[in-house]
Structure 1
């Protein structure tokens, strides 16, 4: 059984102070222990989810030379297509067994940030692909905003503390295709053990087995969401900012048993990033004599670039 607790965002949004506090306590406790929750009550409706899966399957089924048209050089894979085996986990030589696409921020009223971020890439062959991707991006961003409001209250901060940093933030929606495995992988897995870089990650498509999370004793547990749930975990930025009070959990996607090698797996994480100049300095109220400051001061932008270099995505 999964050890990942299930919470319902409807409690936080209910207008009932007791239900709201219950949600804050549940998610806060989960993130201080295992670092993952399964979340019901998010803003994605079933139709949007069905449309998105349909569109991304259509994209990944396009001929390789068509997909490669959308692989943009010089931007570290931040937008558009990233081909099979290009990305590896920190410390791993073998590329992960996946190909993926990146939708980025749709900046509103901020020319400086519009100039900073690469433009989203339009797929000519699939007229609905970009529209459905944008709508999904915005609904996941909205869900993430309320999760971060709950975490702000849990950390003793003002409820909307994170709002200013995530508006027009450098977030990424990444539809991933793990193709059928053709031959015995030599040391490669669908996604090697890693922690996420960002504030929080919202994951669609963790419905089949494959995703596993590691507890603090080093044991691995299957993390399986119900069809109406998103799997949400803490990333390294939020872990640093909270002096590791909220835990960024190591997780991986293991290869399926041999009889299922012939199947594709799709997974769609939304990586919630703040704007680049957010200071990730350890929060004063997360430091005390038992928990001295563990991390150096750094901005979100500098931390991201450091990690992208470690992953081999930028040189």
Structure 2
């Protein structure tokens, strides 16, 4: 498969074909582009409008939704807070997080599963993003079922692993490049995602790049409305690196585009907080021995990574 031809895969493909195409793309690139996902175009359009309206609010109003000590898990995270693991400069972005609401007496509620925060404006914000969160949840579970089959597991293997999972939808705003930005700062520094898989809307605007196994950066530019899906560190760990969590970044635009905002909407699909990591047997071979013999929970892993990227102390 040539480096420049990251495939666009239809979720309407026959199930065995879909498993094969997704598995091959993920194994090769750590990424896939997915169309025919079934998320309503009007819902997506409404979400983009509300995202732009929220980030256009006055700075002090947005900051009123920032909650110290949550590690950015819910509500607003100000510009310049997050930093890629090992980076020296903070990312040029601000964002809002929507998570899963659980009853207060749910056994997982105390494990980083905080109640959502909702802004008083723009109108319709909560209803729109609750609906979109549910759609991301649905599509993500479907993609995981096809990954399971490709790995030689039952198609429902991930169902209990992600039930009431700590998944987060992020509304991202990369403002026009500030004139006083630190030299070398970029919109999103080179990093890998923490979670199982990420589903991303909004990558049509140039800037998202992935690092191939050959050490080359290539652009990821899906057709309009398609999703970009990538493997996160949790699935890389579970599969003993059979499915790679690929380094990616959002580079700065040049010329006229530098004066424009960029918006995107990643959905970080997570395991249940109490899920115990145990390397899948079918991913352990004499050539690829178990890299992770010590089991930890998904929440332990998440907290460690949040500290590394500056969202927790």
Q: CA deviation at 1:115?
A: 4.0
CA contact (8 A) 2:101 2:114 kept: no
* Structure 1 residues 115 and 253: CA distance shift in structure 2, 3 A: same
Aligned match for 1:272, one of 269, 287, 290: 269
The match for 1:127 among 123, 126, 138 is: 123
User: RMSD in angstroms over aligned alpha carbons?
Assistant: 1.4
| 1:81-160 matches, cutoff 5 A | 81-107=76-102, 111-116=106-111, 117-160=113-156
- The alpha carbon displacement at 1:110 in A equals 6.7
Aligned to 1:171: 167
Larger deviation, residues 241-250 vs 107-116: 107-116
Kindly indicate whether the alpha-carbon contact (under 8 Å) linking 1:153 and 1:159 is maintained by their aligned counterparts in 2: yes
Query: Which residue of structure 2 aligns with residue 313 of structure 1?
Result: 311
Counterpart of 2:5 in structure 1 is: 3
In the TM superposition, what is the alpha-carbon distance from 1:228 to its structure 2 partner? Answer: 2.4
In 1, the alpha carbon distance for the partners of 2:24 and 2:302 equals 27
Matched, 1:75 2:70: yes
Say whether the 8 Å CA contact 1:3–1:221 is kept in structure 2.
Answer: no
Q: Is the 8 A contact 2:108 2:273 kept in 1?
A: no
CA distance in structure 1 between the aligned counterparts of 2:275 and 2:153, rounded to whole angstroms: 16
Identify if the C-alpha distance between structure 1 residues 46 and 110 changes in structure 2 by more than 3 Å, giving closer, same or farther: farther
| Residue number in structure 2 paired with 1:32 | 27
State the TM-score, normalized to the length of structure 1. Answer: 0.95
- 1:58 aligns with one of 53, 71, 74: 53
Q: How many residues align?
A: 308
What are structure 1's unaligned runs of at least 5 residues?
Answer: 12-18
Q: Which residue of 2 aligns with 1:230?
A: 227
SS in 1 for 2:51: helix
> Partner of 2:139: helix, strand, or coil?
helix
Structure 1 residues 280-291: aligned runs within 5 Å: 280-291=277-288
Q: Which residue of 2 aligns with 1:14?
A: none
Query: TM-score, length-normalised on structure 2?
Result: 0.95
Structure 2: gaps (5+ residues): none
